[in-house]
């Protein structure tokens, strides 16, 4: 069977240890802080996570850019020339234009190299949601499955990855505009926390609001307990934006409520982080297919 590489991008939030263990590469996006562009590294080489999120806390606006065309061209072409295929699971198309750009580039490259196979899949999710799908791909590759088998498995099961999150402060979300909810939903309310899921088309959608961080965590745990299936064999992944304490306490609640096997914590990378802001915690489990569709 033909060898294939597995690629994510800067929103998959998998750190080096995990990527190495699973043999996952990623395309880097970029972010701009104080007029300077940085590669959105998941290993925080230039700016530490603390420095990055402190800048946001200080009111600095961070903008992000999608994966540059050259990156896709370079990697896809190199792989084609070396006789390797590529399976790319990209950030939800509702959040980033990267995956659609990749599809266009992949088509060109495959025309040039008719023997090459480049499959680009919209994760309809981000952070560890996307990360979980990349790990699925890796596990299937290890089990000897072909690129197409791995791809169709992900396409069939991606909506079973259930995201449930809340943020530290609403201001960051409002500024980035990467969440779907009517303006009246949040209002001007002190201490309000949205409960955010990734809907059927991969947009972040606030399904509910509660008062206070503790209530938000309990709401998230209750939601995931409802969603999860085969909890006893499952690891729930929680990503956080420089707030490990919150993530850990959510982890305890989730473990108690769902009876899952394990909890893994990790940092929200710069791209997702720039839109949700410090203090955000996002949980991911696998279970019932998501059916909610937020208003556009």
Partner 1 sequence: MTTTHLDGSALKELFLGGLSVLKLNKDRIDELNVFPVPDGDTGTNMSMTLEGSLESAAHEEIVGVSELMQKVSRGALLSARGNSGVILSQFIKGFGKGCEGRKTISCADFVKAFRAGVEKAYDAVITPTEGTMLTVMREGCEMMESRSFASFQECIGALNVRMDESLENTPELLPVLKEAGVIDSGGAGFICIFKGMEKVLNGEKITAADVLSEKKTGHTGVFNADSELEYGYCTEFILQLQHSKVDIDHFEISKIVKYLEGVGDSIVAVKDDDLVKIHVHTFFPGQVLDYCQKFGEFITLKIENMSIQHNETMIVQMQEQEQKKKLPAHKPIAYVAALSGDGLISYFKELGVDEVVNGGQTDNPSAEDFVKAYENLNADTIIVLPCNSNIVMAAGQSAEIYQKADVRVVPAKSVAEGYAAISIIDVSCTDPDRIISDMEYAVRNAGTGLITTATRDMTYKDITVQEGHYIGLDRDDILSDSPDKLTAVKDMLNAMEDISDKEVLTIFYGKHVTDDERSELAGMLDKEFSWLEYGFIYGGQEVYDYIFTVE
Binding residues vs partner 1 (CB under 8 A)? 182, 184-185, 187-192, 208-215, 295
Looking at beta carbons only, is 83 or 191 nearer to partner 1? 191
Phi/psi of residue 88, each to 5°?
-115, 120
Tokens of 135: 């790990």
Looking at the Cβ atoms of 158 and 193, the one nearer to partner 1 is 193
Q: How far apart are CA 278 and CA 12, in angstroms?
A: 17
Q: Which is nearer to partner 1, 270 or 279 (CB)?
A: 279
Minimum distance, C-beta of residue 189 to partner 1, in the bound complex (Å): 5
How far is 138 from 110, CA to CA, in rounded Å? Answer: 23
In the complex, minimum distance from the CB of residue 177 to partner 1, in angstroms, rounded to a whole number: 18
Shortest Cβ distance from residue 196 to partner 1 (Å)? Answer: 13
Closer of 150 and 216 to partner 1 (Cβ): 216
Q: What are phi and psi of 200, to 5 degrees?
A: -60, -20
Q: Are 76 and 87 in contact (CB under 8 A)?
A: no
Q: Parallel, antiparallel, or unpaired: how do β-strands 161-166 and 281-286 relate?
A: antiparallel
Nearest distance from C-beta of residue 18 to partner 1, angstroms: 33
* Nearer Cβ to partner 1 (66/204): 204
Which residue is it, tokens 């707030």? 243
CA gap 230, 93 in Å, rounded: 29
What's the distance, Cα to Cα, between the start and end of the chain in Å? 43
């Amino acid at each position: 069977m033909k060898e294939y590489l597995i690629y994510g991008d800067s929103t998959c939030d998998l750190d080096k240890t995990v990527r190495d263990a699973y043999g996952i590469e990623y395309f880097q996006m970029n972010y701009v802080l104080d007029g300077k562009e940085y590669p959105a590294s998941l290993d925080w080489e230039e700016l530490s996570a603390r420095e990055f999120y402190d800048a946001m806390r200080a009111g600095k606006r961070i903008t992000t850019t999608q994966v540059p065309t050259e990156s896709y061209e370079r990697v896809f072409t190199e792989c084609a020339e070396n006789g390797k295929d590529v399976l790319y699971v990209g950030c939800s198309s509702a959040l980033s234009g990267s995956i659609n750009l990749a599809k266009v580039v992949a088509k060109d490259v495959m025309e040039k190299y008719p023997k090459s196979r480049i499959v680009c899949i919209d994760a309809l999710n981000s952070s560890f949601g996307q990360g979980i799908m990349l790990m699925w791909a890796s596990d299937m590759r290890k089990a000897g499955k072909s690129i197409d088998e791995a791809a169709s498995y992900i396409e069939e099961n991606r909506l079973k990855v259930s995201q449930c999150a809340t943020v530290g402060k609403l201001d960051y979300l409002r500024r980035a505009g990467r969440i779907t909810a009517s303006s009246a939903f949040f209002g001007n309310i002190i201490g309000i926390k949205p409960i955010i899921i990734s809907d059927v088309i991969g947009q972040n959608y606030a399904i509910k609001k509660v008062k206070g961080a503790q209530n938000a965590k309990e709401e998230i745990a209750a939601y995931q307990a409802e969603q999860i299936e085969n909890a006893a064999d499952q690891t729930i992944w929680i990503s956080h934006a420089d707030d490990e304490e919150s993530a850990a306490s959510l982890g305890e609640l989730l473990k108690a409520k769902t009876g899952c096997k394990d909890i893994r914590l990790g940092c929200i990378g710069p791209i997702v982080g720039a839109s949700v802001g410090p203090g955000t915690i996002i949980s991911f489990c696998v279970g019932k297919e998501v059916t909610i569709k937020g208003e556009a």
